[in-house]
């Protein structure tokens, strides 16, 4: 418990500094001014989501190798947190795009890929939702999860080629084109802070899953104990009309 509080305080402090840096320390961007600052959260969130999904992939493989439930807990935690960060990307993207490009959504490569990624891992969670038996759920969602992760590079690659072959809206300077050194420092600091938030969220979600599992174990134990008592008798006797 104490550990959690310390971790939260540290990460909270990091985020506070990151926020301050993004809003006040980073120099003003010459074309978009204040709106551009959303970039310090938009892009790192996308990277953090990918880290979370990589964790899911590793957890899936680990589970299939040694069948220890904690890998399944890690997988579901990583997936949920990854989707959360992905949602941040998908929300901040249009917020930035409207003033910058004049449209909410321009089907640009990175945002479209993020959308597909979001759909992929929502399907992952949906699959888990529709399976009741924990062992079976763990195995089959792990298999599905592995396929999903293998699909990710294909998604990025194919969408990028797709977008280079079709007319694009005019983008006011690519998001990573020639970052001023201070901007770069703020960017990476925000990324660090968000990775910290990700780690904490995954950890908390993992502990929740662990607690659920322990609850189930206790319930099982209680049932077993009551089953051992001579309680249930076979059906006997005629049914009265």
By CB under 8 A, name the binding residues for other proteins: 64, 116, 119-120, 123, 126-127, 130-136, 139-140, 142-144, 146-148, 150-151, 154-155, 157-159, 161-162, 165, 216, 219-220, 223-224, 227-228, 234
Q: Which is nearer to other proteins, 74 or 148 (CB)?
A: 148
Shortest reach from residue 53's CB to other proteins, in Å: 14
CA distance 125 to 46: 19
Shortest reach from residue 123's CB to other proteins, in Å: 5
Q: Which is nearer to other proteins, 75 or 190 (CB)?
A: 75
DSSP 155: H
Residues 6+ apart with CB under 8 A from 36: 29, 96, 100
Helix, strand, or coil (residue 26): coil
Q: Which is nearer to other proteins, 32 or 127 (CB)?
A: 127
Shortest reach from residue 105's CB to other proteins, in Å: 17
- The dihedrals phi and psi of 193, each to the nearest 5 degrees, come to -60, -45
Contact 146, 133 (CB under 8 A): no
11-27: buried (b, 16+ CB within 10 Å) or exposed (e) per residue? beebbeebeebbeeebe
One DSSP character per residue, 49-63 reads HHHHHHHHHHHHHHH
Shortest reach from residue 100's CB to other proteins, in Å: 26
Q: Which is nearer to other proteins, 178 or 235 (CB)?
A: 235
Helix axes 134-164 and 109-129, enclosed angle (nearest 10): 160
Q: Which is nearer to other proteins, 6 or 162 (CB)?
A: 162
Shortest reach from residue 150's CB to other proteins, in Å: 5
CA distance 223 to 216: 10
Shortest reach from residue 213's CB to other proteins, in Å: 12
Shortest reach from residue 223's CB to other proteins, in Å: 7
Q: Which is nearer to other proteins, 75 or 155 (CB)?
A: 155
The sign of the dihedral angle between the CA atoms of 138, 144, 150, 154 is: negative
Q: Which is nearer to other proteins, 1 or 126 (CB)?
A: 126
Burial of 85 (0-12, 13-18, 19+ CB in 10 A): buried
């Amino acid at each position: 418990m104490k550990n959690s509080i310390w971790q939260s305080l540290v990460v909270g402090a990091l985020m506070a500094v990151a926020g301050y840096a993004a809003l006040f320390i980073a120099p003003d961007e010459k074309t978009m001014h204040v709106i551009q600052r959303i970039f310090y959260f938009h892009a790192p969130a996308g990277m953090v989501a990918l880290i979370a999904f990589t964790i899911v992939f590793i957890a899936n493989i680990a589970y299939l190798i040694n069948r220890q439930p904690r890998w399944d807990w890690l997988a579901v935690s990583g997936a949920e947190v990854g989707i959360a960060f992905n949602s941040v990307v998908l929300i901040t993207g249009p917020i930035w795009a409207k003033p910058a490009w004049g449209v909410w959504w321009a089907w640009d490569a990175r945002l479209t890929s993020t959308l597909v990624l979001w759909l992929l891992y929502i399907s992952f969670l949906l699959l888990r939702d529709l399976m009741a038996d924990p062992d079976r759920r763990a195995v089959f969602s792990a298999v599905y999860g592995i396929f999903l992760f293998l699909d990710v590079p294909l998604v990025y690659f194919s969408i990028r080629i797709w977008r280079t072959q079709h007319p694009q809206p005019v983008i006011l300077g690519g998001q990573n084109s020639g970052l001023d050194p201070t901007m770069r420092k703020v960017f990476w600091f925000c990324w660090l802070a968000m990775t910290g938030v990700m780690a904490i969220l995954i950890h908390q979600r993992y502990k929740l899953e662990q607690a659920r599992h322990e609850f189930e174990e206790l319930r099982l134990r209680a049932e077993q104990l009551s089953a051992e008592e001579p309680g249930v008798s076979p059906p006997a006797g005629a049914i009265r009309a």
